[in-house]
Chain A
């Protein structure tokens, strides 16, 4: 659809119109490198692999993705341009998808800029490039799911800070639901079926299988359906709240 492309293009240009985009990319690169080298002990492990690098992605995305996505709809509501956008001959779905794709492409660009790490491990040794590629794909998909959640939270408010907090909170819940500590708690008070349900919604567990190099269709389907679900929810929220 042409209108999706037009909206995505406008949005992407808007990202780079402010220094925020560059600041974001620099923070992402610096923090992910620092975590990998210092906290993850990349050199001490003496392995040519990037798994330490990817391990930190869910935790990094928890804050960075809501920061990228918070403006998606909140800003349109704040400045009133949502009235312009929603009275043009584009469906709300097209607008939601266009905006999402722009932010996702931006994150993909940030992720692509970590390629020097990949080159480094290839210089230092012989990593399993299949695993690394799978991990990149998994990371991008997980980022998309975080972003779709943030998009929906952003449509709920005209305040970007509120959008950020809501987005980070919901993303946190979906990440933490796979942590053993949380599951223990749930297990103590809820039936096993519910524990499984909670665990199966965890971004962490789906992501960690992918980074082990096991590309299971179920994990891909999980992230893709998360994206679809939250974008659909965004459409509903935008339609219901645009005039308020």
Chain B
């Protein structure tokens, strides 16, 4: 339902978005990730018809955003970055205005407004001028505005920015719930959000796609993804190393230097599966004392850093060693 084909935007010499090709279907919630200045907002602005693409094309529900913009905008709910709102209006007046623009009249309008106020929990601030609301409430008004006409496509630029943990959870539930019958793009810097709401994640860096896949498939890029993490007291380390040598190939076993009297081992996954049972069985058979044992999933933050760290520092003309060693290099030790 959202199609981008070679979409580009140049600001003078700056290539903010550089040939993005991407399609988002109904039922997908796409998490749009990337470092500051990667081009997320610029891409979303082009999809929403606020910026004209410098090259390529984009369509919402089959309507080209440049040539058929009104039809495209009708089918789109858009939360701009920073959720700008008419601050001198009250929430109620503002939402009534949006409903009118979106073609709701009379009783249907009242009913829809009541529904949306309920959905984003705005009831208690309805009669207050938007300027006097806290940041989180303003964001909720922005969300209400975007979802008011129940559009098949939603584009939300950092929707949970500024919300308290309860509201974050609530908004994520909301997005996940709507995701079943809509196509949604959500940009975010909170990577746990991707795992909890998105069916798919796209990482962009310098206007280009750096990775595209489910949160799980991005995590699989980490060398230590699904590795077994074993911590034993330093005294049992050598015995443990021997056991691990029996259940896994020598290249798959990493031994970290002792710290605080404990030694940590990683047994890397074999064909994606964690050799947890084999390790546990071996340790048990040799009665080795274990401090902790578990499967390492890795964190999306690490994937994100690995994917974007070099690219981020490159334009500043940084020397090669400036490219964050702990990011790209993690796991290769």
Chain A positions within 8 Å of B, measured between CB atoms, are 2-3, 6-7, 9-10, 13-14, 17-18, 79-81, 83-84, 86-91, 242-243
Contacts and interface: CB of A to CB of B under 8 A. Distances in A.
A14 B129 CA distance: 12
Contacts of A10: 86, 89, 93, 97
A6 B74 contact: no
A87 B101 contact: no
B89 A79 contact: no
Nearest to A239: B52
Interface in B89-105: 89, 93, 97-98, 100-103
A79 B101 contact: no
Ordered nearest first, which 10 A-B pairs have the shortest CB separation? A80-B84, A89-B73, A6-B100, A87-B48, A243-B51, A83-B80, A89-B74, A17-B88, A81-B84, A10-B97
Nearest to A83: B80
B121 interface: no
B45 A83 contact: yes
Nearest to B103: A2
Nearest to A81: B84
7 contacts: A6-B100, A17-B89, A18-B88, A83-B80, A84-B145, A88-B101, A243-B45
B88 A6 contact: no
Contacts of A87: 48-50, 73, 76, 78, 80
Given A14-B88, A87-B73, 15 more contacts: A2-B100, A7-B101, A14-B86, A14-B89, A18-B88, A79-B84, A79-B87, A81-B85, A83-B50, A84-B86, A87-B48, A87-B78, A88-B73, A91-B70, A243-B51
Contacts of B87: 79
Q: Per DSSP, are chain B's interface residues mostly helix, strand or loop, or mixed?
A: loop
Contacts, number: 65
Interface of B: 45, 48-52, 70, 73-74, 76, 78, 80, 82, 84-89, 93, 97-98, 100-103, 145
B53 to A, nearest CB: 11
A244 to B, nearest CB: 9
Contacts of B97: 6, 9-10
A86 B50 CA distance: 6
Contacts of A88: 73, 98, 101-102
A99 B88 CA distance: 16
Given A86-B50, A89-B102, A90-B101, A81 B86 contact: yes
Contacts of A243: 45, 50-52
Contacts of B84: 79-81, 83-84
Contacts of B102: 88-89
Contacts of B45: 83, 243
A143 B75 CA distance: 39
A13 B80 contact: no
B101 A89 contact: yes
Contacts of A3: 101
Nearest to A92: B69
Contacts of A84: 80, 84-86, 145
Nearest to B157: A83
A65 to B, nearest CB: 22
A232 B133 CA distance: 37
Contacts of A242: 50
A68 B84 CA distance: 23
Contacts of A79: 84, 86-87
A235 to B, nearest CB: 14
A107 to B, nearest CB: 20
Contacts of B78: 87
A17 B78 CA distance: 27
A239 to B, nearest CB: 9
Contacts of B80: 80, 83-84, 87
Contacts of B48: 83, 87
A90 B100 CA distance: 11
A4 B271 CA distance: 62
A13 B49 contact: no
